[in-house]
Amino acid sequence: SPCLRPKGSIKSIQIIGLGMVAVPASFVNSFLDFLNRKLALRFRRRLTDFFHATYLKDMVFYQLGNLDSRISNPDQRLTADIEKWANSLSTIYANFTKPSLDIILFSQKLAEIMGWAGPLIVIAWYLVSGFFLKLVSPSFGKLIAGEQRLEGEYRASQTDLVHHAEEIAF
């Protein structure tokens, strides 16, 4: 009977139950991270192959470096920007599906407990808070674009410094 069971054994059963859920959950999260990185690597390899083939065809590299100033720092764009874009692209799937699945499962369980009024209130709260956050948040896209531009200019300046080190020292 439950009254005769010592309190310590109930806690140990709960801890064992938590461990039986936490260990597979950490494995799944690590595996998802592995798959995201593998997907990012594939995106990066394919994009790099495509852009290098385009960059080296018909002396485009010469035209970009010496004749055309519309694209600044092509070396930056062919290395770091492709990597960052591939990483961002690979996380879209996980960042979209996992929260969606969580909302669906959470809403279903909440509907079982409280009826459909509970999930509707929660969804309304998500929509209102999302709208409010959109109003007060800065334009992160512009901030990141500015950061990328400054990073590229800095790398180009460092490259110029290395290439013209003798003349600068003279």
Q: In angstroms, how far is the first alpha carbon of the chain from the final one?
A: 92
Task: Give the confidence band of 61 by pLDDT, cuts at 50, 70, 90.
Answer: low
- Phi-psi region at 59: left, alpha or beta (left = phi > 0; alpha = psi -120 to 50): left
Whether residue 148 contacts residue 64, with contact meaning beta carbons closer than 8 Å, is answered with no
Cα distance between residue 80 and residue 86, in whole Å? 10
- pLDDT surpassing 70 at residue 5: no
Q: How far apart are CA 145 and CA 143, in angstroms?
A: 5
Contact between residue 51 and residue 45 where contact means Cβ atoms under 8 Å apart: no
Q: Which of 50, 51, 48 is nearest to 61 (CA)?
A: 51
Question: What average pLDDT is seen over the chain?
Answer: 81
